[in-house]
């Protein structure tokens, strides 16, 4: 591995970090931050990076369970920020060094799926344990259901249908508008919900709206994929 391979603007950086797909936060913030870690962790096993990132997330969520003030929320956000960056680092290290394996890919996808469930359950627990509800609204669970659904649909879309929706959106006449509409779907945007976790009532309102958005996105995504595949037959 030479210096050029690991430089910020080098060939490997251009191929790995600046690739076209990805929503704004993921593309312009998370991947460059992940590259910072990649430059320092490229000798570490990608699987070890994946497991360490997941463990760091679990420890952070336990340490800051039921945040009481803005500082707790800021530290909680920092935990998610680092976890998300390291989650991208393992893939960058795999592509940079050629150490990627099917097992590593399975592990990465599995931990990603578990992370989606865990962070949503965390927010739900913060809300239901601090607000007295006569009955818990089903809307509170929409974000969890929808994000898991979007993850499953997205994974199957890539693995089974080999459809690159991101490429289709970029090449469409309404690509910029679609990117703007999809902006809240970025996991990096979702993380900002944790900054208001010390205000359960505000969190409940914003999280419910975010759940409705994700549910609508899930429905539209499934219809779009189905219709596009039927037309292609």
Reported confidence tier of residue 118, pLDDT bands at 50, 70, 90: very high
CB 225 within 8 Å of CB 168: no
From 1-15, 110-124, 179-193, the region with the lowest mean pLDDT: 1-15
Residue 229 and residue 222: Cα distance in Å, rounded?
A: 11
Q: Where are the domains of the chain?
A: 3-231
pLDDT at residue 177 in the model: 78
Res. 8: pLDDT tops 60: no
Res. 56: pLDDT tops 60: yes
pLDDT at residue 202 in the model: 95
pLDDT at residue 156 in the model: 79
Region 161-181: what's the mean pLDDT? 67
pLDDT at residue 2 in the model: 52
Reported confidence tier of residue 133, pLDDT bands at 50, 70, 90: confident
Reported confidence tier of residue 64, pLDDT bands at 50, 70, 90: very high
pLDDT at residue 82 in the model: 98
Indicate the average pLDDT of the chain.
Answer: 86
Q: Does the 3-231 domain belong in CATH 1.20.120.1760?
A: yes
pLDDT at residue 19 in the model: 65
């Amino acid at each position: 591995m030479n210096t050029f391979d690991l430089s910020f603007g080098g060939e490997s950086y251009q191929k790995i970090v600046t690739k076209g797909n990805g929503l704004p936060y993921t593309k312009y913030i998370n991947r460059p931050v992940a590259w910072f870690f990649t430059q320092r962790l490229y000798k570490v096993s990608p699987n070890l990076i994946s497991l360490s990132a997941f463990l760091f997330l679990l420890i952070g969520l336990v340490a800051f369970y039921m945040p009481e003030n803005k500082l707790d929320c800021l530290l909680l956000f920092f935990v998610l920020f680092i976890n998300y960056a390291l989650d991208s680092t393992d893939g960058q290290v795999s592509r940079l060094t050629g150490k990627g394996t099917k097992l590593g890919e399975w592990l990465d996808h599995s931990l990603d799926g578990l992370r989606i469930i865990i962070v949503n359950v965390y927010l739900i627990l913060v809300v239901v344990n601090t607000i007295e509800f006569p009955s818990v609204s089903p809307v509170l669970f929409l974000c969890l259901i929808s994000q898991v659904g979007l993850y499953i649909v997205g994974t199957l879309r890539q693995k089974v249908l080999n459809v690159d929706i991101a490429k289709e959106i970029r090449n469409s006449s309404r690509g910029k508008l679609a990117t703007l509409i999809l902006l809240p779907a970025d996991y990096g945007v979702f993380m900002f919900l944790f900054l208001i976790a010390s205000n359960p009532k505000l969190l409940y309102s914003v999280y419910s709206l975010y759940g409705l958005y994700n549910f609508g996105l899930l429905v539209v995504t499934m219809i779009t994929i189905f219709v596009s595949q039927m037309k292609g037959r």
